[in-house]
Amino acid sequence: MLEQVQAAVRSGDITTALTLLAQARQEDPLNPHAWQLAAELAAHVRDWPELQRIASCWTRMHPTSVAAWQSLSRSHFEDSQFNEAIAAYARVLALQPGNAGHLVAAARLATAALQYDCARSYLDAAEALSPDSGEVLYALSRLHHLSGELALAEVYCRRAIRVMPGYAPAYTALGVLTEGRLDDAEIANIAQLAKHPGMHPEYRAMLYFTLGDALDRKGEYDHAFAAWKQANQINSGISAQEGIFYNAQQHEEDVALLAGIFADPFAKPFAEDFLQNQDGCTGSGLRPVFVVGMPRSATTLAESILASHSGVHGAGELPTLLDTLEGLLTIARRDGIAVARETLRSQAGRWRQRYLDALPCAHGKAHVVDKQPLNFRAIGLIRVLFPESPVIYTQRNMMDVGLSIFRHNFSKNWPCAHKLSDIGHYYRVHEQIVALWQQRYPDAIHVMDHAALVSDQESEIRKLIAFAGLEFEEACLTPHKTRRQVATFSSVQVQRPVSSSYSGRAAHYARAMGTEEFRGTEEQAPPSP
């Protein structure tokens, strides 16, 4: 049987190989080699549901297998099920305690779940066991980076590179920490690593993004753009392997669905009736504040300004509301707008409570900022579930937004990010959706324009704080001085004073962006109410 599996693998027929392995597992479920090979093949083709099925059975048949629990943890992680991934990896730690490598892996999972204190405890233990391990040093660099300890993060990062000179993530981290200010030797090392035939595609993409940023800093704009383009082509191929593509037609159709689901006279009266049944701000005593907008449009900056206030906790990009909206849209696509509206009416209370229950600890503060950018799609839902909550929409020059998305390593959950033509299309759809909400709720959305903020910082910040219903505090004028955990591409940027230094970069790439069919804003009216 295994010979047939190997023949199928050699021919590239992974489906047949997995089928044969399933038969082998049924015939001899105690054979660990069949489980191991099946898991490796599922991971190779990036079929995470299949890996989860295999690993779930594998852990039941072989509950003391470290590899089985590692595979199950990875399947959950790749599906963004971070708590489940952490729970599965806890079995690895229990089976092989005192293993520095396992502690680093557990710390990475905890970091992905924004459980930084837990990650720090794992890494403290790992450093005590193996203080000169490159993986431990890199993981510590990453944690200090996200915690806002940038100088210490760079020290650990450079130590990791000295120990592991071929480790791509460490070079990428150094590029982020220095904002692309790398010397010629470092740039040459990155370029060489990116071209290495044995380099994993995900690492190659990371290296090309880092290379592009370094070349941009040196003013080598054509070469920088070529590096970013190469990185995005690699990421596009990875997404395609998992069956993830940018669906332009569906995004366009969603505009009409949102307009229909949240059409008057349904939304406003229902929101008012709903709020009358609430006890104060929220059942948990917390009031969400929503910051929305395109990625790279200064959502992290808006959150940092708000989170500099003594009564506000910045929670980062929370998934709960967006997941609820996507479920509602799925119903509308399948069963029609009327069914979706009735579902919203019947489930609104439960959805509101689910969101509140999922909020992280606010450390005694009354207001929690959710800065999930894609919640611009969910403003109608916010007005129904949280009519008492302020919504801040961040606005930035389209060219700067487009280039910034293109030059950052966005995950597979952002299929529009890999082509400038798709980014431009998504930007225009986003404009239609925001125009719809501004027409529906003209007094409920505050626009924080990045250019205006840079031009008149104090005035714009005071407007923002007032709209959020907060008493003004001087600390809000200097958000870069507020030390907090930031897990976005802007984690370094927000620790610098607000300035125009991050604007206008796209001017160097106008010709290249035009060649790639990045379209400017087109005059399009929002859907009729």
- pLDDT of residue 246 exceeding 80: yes
Asked whether the predicted pLDDT for residue 398 surpasses 60, the reply is yes
Mean pLDDT across 394-409:
94
Do the domain assignments include residue 137? no
Residue 8 has pLDDT above 90, yes or no: no
pLDDT at position 520 over 80: no
CATH no. for residue 92? Answer: 1.25.40.10
Q: Is residue 145 part of a domain?
A: no
Least confident of 181-195, 208-222, 495-509: 495-509
pLDDT above 70 (res 491): no
**Cα distance between the two ends of the chain:** 62
Least-confidence region, from 34-48, 63-77, 231-245, 338-352: 34-48
156-178 average pLDDT score = 94
C-alpha–C-alpha distance, residues 140 and 121, integer Å: 11
For the chain, the domain total comes to 2
Tell me if 53 is assigned to some domain: yes
pLDDT at 136: 94
Residue 310 covered by a domain: yes
User: pLDDT band for position 221 (50/70/90)?
Assistant: very high
Mean pLDDT of the chain: 86
| Assigned domain for 154 exists | no
The pLDDT of residue 149? 85
Each as own residue / partner, the long-range contacts of residues 298-301 (CB below 8 Å, 24 or more positions apart, any chain) are 298/394, 298/396, 298/448, 298/450, 298/453, 299/371, 299/373, 299/394, 300/371, 300/486, 300/488, 300/489, 300/490, 300/491, 300/493, 300/494, 301/394, 301/450, 301/453, 301/479, 301/490, 301/493, 301/494, 301/498
The Cα–Cα gap between 489 and 494 comes to 10
Where residue 475 sits, what CATH number does that domain have? Answer: 3.40.50.300
Least confident residue range of 11-25, 150-164, 234-248: 11-25
Least confident of 155-164, 225-234, 456-465, 476-485: 476-485
Tokens of 457: 């910082």
- 511: which residues sit within 8 A by CB, 6+ positions away? none
pLDDT tens column, 186-203: 999 999 999 998 999 999
Last residue of a domain, one of 29, 64, 97: 97
Range of the domain at 36: 1-97
In a domain, 160, yes or no: no
Assigned domain for 242 exists: no
Which of 97, 117, 147 lies at the terminal end of a domain, its last residue?
97
Position 496 in a domain? yes
Last residue of a domain, one of 75, 97, 119: 97
Confidence of residue 521 (pLDDT cuts 50, 70, 90): very low
| Beta pairing class for 445-449 and 312-314 | unpaired
* The pLDDT value given to residue 284: 53
Q: Within 13 A of 351's CA, how many CA atoms are on the CB side?
A: 23
Q: Which of 6-20, 212-226, 255-269, 319-333 has the lowest mean pLDDT?
A: 6-20
pTM, whole model, 2 decimals?
0.77
